[in-house]
Structure 1
Amino acid sequence: MEERVEGAVGLPEDAPGHVVRRRGRTTLLIAGAVVLGLVVGACAGYLVQADREPTKLPSLSQPTMPQAKGPAPEPLSAARDRRVKTDGDLRKLLLTKPKGAKDADWLEGQDGWLDLAAYADSYEKPEEIFGDLVGNEFRRAAVVGWAEGSSYTVELRLVQFRQEETVAAADYCDNNQYWAEKESSTDSWPIAGTGTGMAYVHHKPKTEAGYLPLYSAEAHAWRGDVSLEIWVYGSRTISKKKIMDLAERQMERL
């Protein structure tokens, strides 16, 4: 199984990089000038207002609003409330291994979970992406995989972020799509019902002396605070139907 070789750090200028940029010195100088202008303006406004007669304020009392009649609305069930699902055991939302497939013995992590270090280690520069994930409020990642005979291997990941400061799930999805689209001889299709989700089939295999050519396909989408990553590898070109079926069925579970 080949490791993902495209990282999220050190992206070209046209990449939708999710690394938070530090403010430059010019930005700080502009911010300082704005603060100074606000202070000067506030002082001038105070002097003008001090010479004016006080303005009578309206009454603070407000008319009583009638309460709506009828029973209180029922809370959403767990089946309808997506947040309830994604706050539970994330592994239960992953597709299950199909009948006849073999367990994946190459998966990183433990018991279906990928911690921060294990997830960062799947990138080309783990030490850099580790800090990026911390800054983007990485919460957890669940993973499942299987082998279908000697033809294909499948790996699916759900990567969840806290998203108190940024919409990191969308950013990481965009980043993965950027690198997928950079591959030559690649076809792509939108994943229905996902907004920006995309599936990709790479027709040019990876080759290495002593090994069979390795073809690949992938899919990336996001919903709420969860980013979906799917990879399929095989000894021959993966069909559009296969990668799209995996992506659509997995997104239905979110």
Structure 2
Amino acid sequence: METPEAPPEAPPATRRRRRTPALIAGAAVLGVVAGGCVGYLVQADRAPTALPSLSQPSLAQAEGAGPEPLSAAQDRKVKTDGDLRKLLLRKPAGARKPLIEVANDGWMDLAAYAEEFQSPDNAFRRLAREDELRRVAVVDWREGSTYTAEIRLVQYRETERGTQAADDAGAGNDNAQPPDDHTTDAWPIPGTGDGMAYVHHKPDTTYGVGVYSAEAHAWRGDIAMEIWIYDTKPIPKAKVMDLAKRQMEQL
């Protein structure tokens, strides 16, 4: 009797945006054609992860002058365990509400974030179990009719293996890898180690209007930064690099 073959293992979650770029590109086209058309993105109505208390227990001091405790501004752990949305860059003056909102009150839940991957079901399981995703804070805005910027701070729980943030922003992440077609320029983000910014010169013409994109990926501690920019005009290097450097300074 033949031994039945074992079912194939599920492929690893591919870290490449799947849904939002198409919707933003479509919204950009609507902005060109109809001006004020508003897109939509269905979001699961979940509350963000409850935040831990910012208060620190009092510690008994040994005799003699000991070191002064770190202030909240100096203690990065206190800073990143607070309201993560406060670490996001502020929207530029005059910026408008994006045609498509990808978050609920500045938060994107696990189900919505998993929808950004090519295999959402597999991504959901991996993010929840192996990668220990904790929360995702988002700020996005629109300038003019078609320029859209989105910044995400993706925070992971610390485990014995460390955190997933470095892998999320590093060489193992398909998001952080430019296509091998010589249409993308890449530059390191100063002060971030292996952080990289990319400008894609080949527009997406799926929707009848060319939509250009740029992105940036870096990490610090347990937080991975993602920046996504879309426009119907070529996006200059200075635009994405400025956002990336200023956002990383906030961390």
From 145, 150, 173, the equivalent of 1:150 is 145
Q: SS state of the match for residue 182, structure 1? A: coil
Contact 1:207-1:213 at 8 Å conserved across structures: yes
CA shift, 1:182, in A, is 2.4
Q: Which moved more, 1:105-114 or 1:193-202?
A: 105-114
Q: How does 1:86-125 map to 2 (within 5 A)?
A: 86-125=80-119
Q: Distance in 2 between matches of 1:110 and 1:87?
A: 20
Instruction: Report the equivalent of 1:247.
Output: 244
In the alignment, structure 1 segments of 5+ residues that lack a partner are 1-6, 12-67
Find out whether 1:234 has 2:231 as its counterpart.
Answer: yes
CA pair 212-218 structure 1, distance change in 2 beyond 3 A: same
Aligned counterpart, 2:196: 198
TM-score, normalisation: structure 2: 0.71
Question: Alpha-carbon deviation of 1:107?
Answer: 2.3
The one of 73, 76, 99 aligned to 1:79 = 73
- Where 1:219 maps in the other structure, the secondary structure is strand
Query: Aligned letter for 1:106?
Result: I
Output aligned runs, 1:130-145, within 5 Å: 130-134=124-128, 135-145=130-140
Give TM-score scaled by structure 1 length. 0.70
- Which residue identity does 1:79 align to in structure 2? A
Letter in 1 for 2:149: V
More RCO (CA 8 Å, sep 6+): 2
Distance (Å, rounded) in 1 between the aligned partners of 2:113 and 2:175:
19
Letter of the structure 1 residue corresponding to residue 191 of structure 2? G
**Is 1:168 paired with 2:164?**
yes
Over 3 Å counting, the alpha-carbon distance change for 1:205 and 1:136 in structure 2 is: same
Give the Cα–Cα distance (whole angstroms) in 1 for the partners of residues 84 and 199 of structure 2: 27
Secondary structure of the residue that 2:142 maps to in structure 1?
Answer: strand
Superposition pairs for residues 24-103 of structure 1, below 5 Å? 70-103=64-97
* Structure 1 counterpart of 2:221: 224
How large is the Cα RMSD of the aligned pairs? Answer: 2.0
Helix, strand or coil at the partner of 1:9: coil
- The ranges of structure 1 where at least 4 consecutive aligned residues each deviate by more than 6 angstroms after the TM superposition are none
CA distance, structure 2, for counterparts of residue 123 and residue 90 of structure 1: 23
Q: Which moved more, 1:185-194 or 1:159-168?
A: 159-168
* Residue of 4, 9, 16 corresponding to 2:13: 9
Larger Rg: 1
Q: Which amino acid aligns with 1:147?
A: R
CA contact (8 A) 1:183 1:202 kept: no
Pairwise CA distance, 1:123: 1.3
Counterpart Cα distance in 1 of 2:192 and 2:96: 29
Aligned-partner Cα distance in 1 for 2:96–2:14: 37
Report the AA paired with residue 100 of structure 1.
Answer: G
